[in-house]
Chain A
């Protein structure tokens, strides 16, 4: 049908346009990071790298702040994800069981925190009084549980761990605790993976907690280091070069910024195509059920 062909053409034009709008900046950044600094200043870089050069990457990798920030972030992601997923599971499992008396009360208890919160300053005071201010725990504990994720988990568990399974285990004389560890955990592989992704991405990308709760520079995660270098120029990007001619200095400062952007984003961007399926599934479980 003619109208259909028109539709297809328009559709593909729109999608192609959107595709390019999203793709081009990313390509431009990658290309600039691999280009000679001089070419970047002279604005000769449009699509492909001009005068291939790894100078800016060398500068990035030789900076100890960035390396430390990277390691800190990896540490926070691993420990934070573990703690968050574990706590969420411990919360979601009893909530998914009908036999848990007080289910409604606990649900209301945690839902209320989504609605109303004490605010920034009271939380800051609590963290200070608990003695975890300016420690690594301050990045793992205060925002450990996200109630949305708990609800998604609860829905998943309620559907996967059927009543028949539970009754059969009860007949076999299985206690609730034993059931959790020996049956629920192995069966929740899918949702644990999704939750680990959800929590992990948030922990890797956020800087607010570190901004508020940390002062020791050696504890800074990558995002704070990035903020200092890229946004407020606290650490001048050009200071990262040891040997830099005056003319090259500004150019290198520019390409170093591009390289830094690439280096900071690479882990997630490389990993996400493989985990995209799980992400989509997680979003759909969370939203479609409501």
Chain B
């Protein structure tokens, strides 16, 4: 619908009574066809489009600057809206970064951050001199990699299998059931693990004794920690992780399926030659992106699974930082280790993000 054309600007201005309300800045009354009723026509630019603006000499740069400031002034409310969230970020994300100074000092509670003596890289050399530090770094890294490399193939497998199911009810049922454990909290999951692995009454040991073997304290064995950690995570998360691959599978080109049907492919070939190559970019991206988070593996589950017996494999960076800082109250040492962890994370995330971008697909930014 095109707006009707105004006869002449002067005619319009004469016939419009001066009004000071909001609407008249944007609407102009006009009588183009001499009807009794006046019609309102929208003028997005306000009166400036009816009047003539005097021409002014201005350089390109200052025109652009003016435009920018005008845009800021015109949309000042955006800045009001965003003020509260930005305050949150400053308070809880950026102010703590200032506390990183603690890593280079020996914190004395009585003297506060500023008053505490400067010790430079002492805390870091202390960390690297401690032999268990290397064990902790290795624990963190190997746990993450194991979890990552084991979980992706199974999630993909589940997605492909679900995709090929004919009966809708069966597919929905399996999806719902495999999806459920994701909503169990970490505490409950570890409690379930402990119940099942209880040396006296646990289900696993009951089965073991049925086969004539001695009951075993699974949770107390350091060599089993990683396996328990990873496979319980797979039990819990595969259903949820499969969603992304299912979504990718739904974007497969239907024409390829039909071409395949004409060629007479069976389902094995269809999966191998059509489905997998289509979702390969998704798999690669998920793999690469998650590699960046290899040294920031979560605290909650490992902390709950730790006991005095399995610490040599169960101690990871985040739990170590917590224990040193908030249990032993060695603030500066803990901050130093945390800073080290953060720096490693920055390098890893940036590197793998760059790699993912190079692959030609989307990345974090």
Contact = CB atoms under 8 A, between A and B. Distances in A.
Interface string B220-243: 000000000000000100111001
Contact of A227 (B102, B170, B203, B304): B304
29 contacts: A7-B268, A22-B180, A25-B192, A40-B201, A90-B82, A90-B85, A100-B78, A102-B72, A110-B89, A117-B93, A118-B93, A118-B95, A119-B96, A119-B341, A120-B334, A121-B99, A121-B338, A125-B96, A141-B92, A177-B77, A204-B185, A205-B187, A207-B300, A208-B300, A227-B187, A260-B191, A272-B180, A284-B244, A287-B244
Given A15-B174, A40-B201, A101-B68, A175 B77 contact: yes
Contacts of A113: 89, 93-94
A160 interface: no
Given A43-B206, A116-B346, A145-B89, A180 B81 contact: yes
B192 A29 contact: yes
B187 A223 contact: yes
Contacts of B196: 25
A4 interface: yes
A290 B72 CA distance: 29
Contact of B174 (A19, A90, A143): A19
A21 B78 CA distance: 51
A206 interface: yes
Contact of B194 (A120, A125, A230, A272): A230
A120 B191 contact: no
Contact of B88 (A87, A101, A117, A176): A87
B183 A265 contact: yes
Contact of A18 (B174, B338, B346, B349): B174
A239 interface: no
A198 interface: no
Interface stretch (B31-39, B124-132, B357-365): B357-365
A144 interface: yes
B50 to A, nearest CB: 16
A58 B158 CA distance: 40
Main secondary structure of the interface of A (DSSP, over half): helix
Contact of B191 (A41, A102, A230): A230
A159 to B, nearest CB: 15
A123 B75 contact: no
Interface in B298-332: 299-300, 304, 318, 321-322, 325-326, 331
A23 B96 contact: no
B87 to A, nearest CB: 10
Interface stretch (A49-57, A91-99, A186-194): A91-99
A99 B68 CA distance: 10
Contacts of B5: none
Interface stretch (B22-30, B52-60, B114-122, B143-151): B22-30
Interface stretch (B7-15, B159-167, B252-260): B159-167
A207 B186 contact: yes
Contact of A176 (B68, B75, B201): B75
A276 interface: yes
B239 A254 contact: no
A115 B185 contact: no
B181 interface: yes
Interface residues of B, number: 103
A164 to B, nearest CB: 13
Contacts of A125: 96, 99, 113, 331
A101 B97 CA distance: 26
B179 interface: yes
A246 interface: no
Interface string B86-114: 10110111111111101000000000010
Contact of A23 (B86, B177, B268, B334): B177
A168 B273 CA distance: 49
B142 interface: no
A102 B264 CA distance: 56
A230 B305 CA distance: 12
B201 A124 contact: no
Contacts of A90: 81-82, 84-85
Given A99-B71, A269-B180, A15 B346 contact: no
Nearest to B82: A94
Contact of B325 (A11, A40, A121, A264): A121
A119 B349 contact: no
Nearest to A272: B183
Scoring A12, A22, A120, A230 by chain B CB atoms within 10 A of each residue's CB, the highest score goes to: A120
Interface in A9-36: 11-12, 14-15, 18-19, 21-23, 25-26, 28-29
A3 B265 CA distance: 9
A272 B184 CA distance: 11
A48 B206 CA distance: 17
A231 B96 contact: no
Contacts of B180: 22, 26, 269, 272
B42 interface: yes
Given A7-B268, A119-B338, A264 B84 contact: no
Interface in A122-141: 122-126, 130, 141
A177 B78 CA distance: 8
B102 A11 contact: no
A163 interface: no
A118 B100 contact: yes
Nearest to B296: A117
A259 B271 CA distance: 43
Scoring B74, B88, B91, B325 by chain A CB atoms within 10 A of each residue's CB, the highest score goes to: B88
